[in-house]
Structure 1
Amino acid sequence: MSIDIEATKRAIAQRIGRVERQLVDLAHRIHAHPELGFEEHRASRWVADMLSHAGFQVQHGCYGLPTAVRATIGSGPVHVGICAEYDALPEIGHACGHNIIAAAGVGAALGLAGSVDELGLTVTLLGTPAEEGGGGKILMLERGAFDGLDAAMMVHPAAVELAAMPGTAVSQFEVTYEGKPAHAGAYPELGVNAADAMTIAQVAIGQLRQQTRTTDRIHGIVTGAGSAVNVIPDHSAGKWIVRSDSAEALATLTGRVHRCFEAGALASGCTLSLVPTGPDYADLRPDAGLLALYRANAQALGRVFADVPNGLMGAATDMGNISHVVPTIHPMLGLDCHPAANHQPEFAAACITPIADRAVVDGATAMAWTAAEFAVFKPS
């Protein structure tokens, strides 16, 4: 049976249009009640309930994660996964726009629901907790959430429209040094200075940067280095992130950075602890065929893509790990809010504007149209 894909796409858009108000309300409710990674109890329940009421088979609290969601409809041979993030950032709330991601993902799933039999589709919405450093998708990947998917997709808000985010590979870890306290004026020779260890490591990293590539980044903060000026600090701590443009390059760079911290311990006499604060994020590798479909569909909705400068370094996402095993796209929805950008309070404010509300609907529609065309044309 031949499928009139344009008629199908019109029907999808109409279904999304009928729930537009509910989708925008979902985005605004999640924004008004920010929850940190693995604590998104309200947001994940709202997503699960909305899809359950629409006839999806829903699991809430799956894959060993209390705030993960799996909602499936259809039984066709082509299986498309749509990811919905909903975690916020500490102190600045939804300054990365995950409220928009969740609502757009739900909208795409609802738009496709009435066409799954016609298209031979199975559609699964995956609510993925803790993208902001917790690696929720990586845990779900390891536990089978993405098994059997033919494609995975999501949209993400940004200051400008991008078909593909330049996604870096990232390693995150916490550093602690333990030394020995002593009176800094009377008996400094009895102390082992943990603050010195951290300083030596930071100087070594500063020197290392001259020998790193332009696509490498090393950044961190010192979270503690003593509490009294007349006491030799016996404890210091910091949190660090290392970025590179591929998982392979990240492994090499991370090893070099770790040796800088080992140098601090060796020179000061302190003991060192290096503990990962989450799983490593892989670089994002968008699928060219899926991306071409999405770009054409977004442009048909009036979305205008910005030019990406060569060598632009991007943020990291646990969707990168998914892209290494499943054909994946992660386009960016422009909110026309430059110079406000992700992870700024001003960007949080931009995520509940009329432009953001339009992005929810456009993102849902473009993803749903892309999934429909993928089921019919299956681009390679």
Structure 2
Amino acid sequence: MDEKSVLFNEVESLSDVLFSISDYIHDNPELGNEEFKAVQKITETLGNYGFTIEKGIAGLETAFIATYKNGLGGPVIGLLCEYDALMDLGHGCGHNLQSASVLGAAIALSRHLSHKDVTIQVIGTPAEETTSGKIPMANGGYFDHLDVALMMHGGDRTTVDGRSLAVDNFEFEFIGKESHAAVAPEQGISALDGVLMTFNGMEYLREHVRTDVRIHGIITDGGKAPNIVPKRATAKFSVRAKDRKYLNEVVERVFNVAKGAALATGTKVIIHTLKSLENKLNVQSLNDLLLENAHFSGAKNITPPRERTGSTDFSIVTHRVPGACIRVSFVPYGTSNHTEEWVKASKSSDGNEAILVAAKTLSGTCLDLVYSPELLDRIKAEFIVAKQTLESSSEELVSTN
């Protein structure tokens, strides 16, 4: 039996442990930065298999690093996992599958590579759906020491992320003047009018931007009562584009829409930046390696990268070290995430199958990197070129402005 098959048998032997972890996280959904049960379950399990645990990193109570280290050198490979749920929905993004598969890969590798110089780290990154723990973790340098970073995500197909959209999230806070809507409407200045005019302006803007741009928002505060002219009203928007350079141009126009709405309605607008993410820095050779191992692991519905994609905070990591994410099929093709269908499928036989496929894919990829230093060197060299190309593009933008 070849070495990779032996490794995959190690993954199979962990099935009961991995399914139990996945079910536990699924049945105990926790919002971002509150994933205490999930973190306890994950780190306790890794501790039982000989990993050293460091919790509370980057000032985040539910962030952690679990480390298996053998020898004095060798590559340092990070396996990132997420475990937060969605408000009022639960695990509609399949993070329970992600945590379980990453644990399966890490534990199997620690058993199999006891004769090799290597460091395997499971890095727990909280609040992917909201504030993004990866931001302060990246600012604190918690990914910079890695030679490569890998992730898994569930999907309606098995593929890699060829790209992602850069995104800026904002809150527009409009301030007006309160008054009685019937007795003295002329004394009031409606903050809600500013919000509504902003939405109208966004609709006009959509027609005159590239097709990869996405602008979507909600009203988060529209006032207190219909007979009171709202003094304060707020809306949250996400603005996305294929690259940061063009996104910055669109965001400037978005801001002008909100400022124009304030001017037209006599209100004041305050713009709060909530979260900004870059587009993913792609290393194709690492993507190819993941897909090769997905084939070898028996993954279903393998396809090219999705044409339509969203944004990911994993992009933060890919700007610091070579990184790639394998998406593993466990729902019918075309089924969107953040839905009840995903919640149900995340605790099913299809979900369990995806856990094992992903754990094998990740561990097989790590095995290739450990046994082929020249392959890892090629991936790192490709990453450097991609980063230099991006930086040159950014410098060109600054010089032209």
Q: What is the letter of the counterpart of residue 298 of structure 2?
A: G
Cα distance in 1, alignment partners of residues 262 and 121 from structure 2: 49
Distance (Å, rounded) in 2 between the aligned partners of 1:341 and 1:166: 18
Q: 1:3 corresponds to which residue? A: none
8 Å CA contact 2:144, 2:320 repeated in 1? no
TM-score computed with the length of structure 1 as normaliser: 0.94
Give the number of aligned pairs: 373
Structure 1, residues 269-289: CA drift from partner, whole Å, max 9, x if none?
Answer: 2121221223x1111233222
Shift of 1:144: 1.6
Where does residue 66 of structure 1 map in the other structure? 61
Task: Find the counterpart in structure 1 of residue 150 from structure 2.
Answer: 153
TM-superposed CA distance for 1:51, in Å, is 0.7
SS at match of 1:155: strand
Residue type of the alignment partner of 2:189: V
| SS, match of residue 114 in structure 1 | helix
| Correspondence 1:108-187 to 2 at 5 A | 108-164=105-161, 166-187=163-184
Per mean C-alpha deviation after superposition, the further-off stretch among 110-119 and 188-197 is 110-119
- Kept in 1, the 8 Å contact 2:158–2:302? The answer is yes
Q: What does the per-residue CA deviation read over 1:174-209, in whole Å, with 9 as the maximum and x for residues that have no partner?
A: 221110012223322211111111111111111111
Deviation at 1:308, TM superposition (A): 4.6
Render the CA deviation track for 1:242-268: whole Å, top value 9, x for unaligned: 111122222222222111111111111
Give the match for residue 294 of structure 1: 290
Partner deviation per Cα, 1:281-339 (whole Å, 9 max, x = no partner) = 111233222222111111112214444587x2312111011111111111211113244
Asked whether the equivalents of residues 290 and 374 of structure 1 are also in contact (C-alpha less than 8 Å), the reply is no
The 8 Å contact of residues 335 and 356 in structure 1, kept in 2 or not, is answered as: yes
User: Residue in 2 aligned with 1:356?
Assistant: 351
Q: Equivalent of 1:267, from 240, 264, 268?
A: 264
Which segment drifts farther, 83-92 or 263-272?
263-272
Does the residue aligned with 2:160 lie in a helix, a strand or coil?
coil
The secondary structure found in structure 1 opposite 2:219 is strand
Distance 2:303 2:82 in 1: 26
Query: What is aligned with 2:313?
Result: 318
Q: Does 1:194 align with 2:191?
A: yes
Of 12, 26, 35, 2:30 maps to: 35
- SS of 2:57's equivalent in the other structure is coil
Instruction: Supply the AA of the counterpart residue of 2:242.
Output: D
Determine the C-alpha separation between the residues in 2 that align with 1:7 and 1:125: 26
CA contact (8 A) 2:218 2:235 kept: yes
Taking the aligned partners of 1:119 and 1:25, their CA distance within structure 2 comes to 30
Match of 1:203 in 2: 200
Distance 1:270 1:325, change over 3 A: same
Distance 1:123 1:46 in 2: 19
Q: Which residue of 2 aligns with 1:239?
A: 236
The alignment status of 1:257 with 2:257, answered yes or no, reads no
Instruction: Report whether the alignment pairs 1:335 with 2:330.
Output: yes
Q: Answer yes or no: is the 8 Å Cα contact 1:286–1:330 preserved in 2.
A: no
**C-alpha contact (below 8 Å) 2:159/2:305 kept by paired residues:** no
Q: CA deviation at 1:61?
A: 1.7
Please report how far the alpha carbon of residue 109 of structure 1 lies from its aligned counterpart in structure 2 after TM superposition: 0.4
The worse-fitting range, judged by mean Cα deviation, of 223-232 and 188-197 is 223-232
**Match of 2:76, SS?**
strand
**Unpaired runs of at least 5, structure 1:** 1-5
Give the secondary structure class of the aligned counterpart of 1:293: helix
Cα deviation for residue 85 of structure 1 reads: 0.5
Aligned to 1:221: 218
Matched position secondary structure for 1:331: strand
Q: Which moved more, 1:20-29 or 1:257-266?
A: 257-266
Q: Tell me the secondary structure at the aligned position of residue 135 of structure 1.
A: coil
Other structure's SS at 2:279 match: coil
Question: SS at the partner of 1:277?
Answer: strand
Deviation at 1:41, TM superposition (A): 0.4
Q: Which residue of 1 aligns with 2:397?
A: none
- After TM superposition, the runs of 4+ consecutive aligned structure 1 residues lying more than 4 A away are none
**What is the CA-CA distance between 1:43 and the residue it aligns to?**
0.4
The residue type paired with residue 284 of structure 2 is A
Structure 1 residue 83: Cα displacement: 0.3
From 3, 9, 13, the counterpart of 1:18: 13
CA contact (8 A) 1:194 1:234 kept: yes
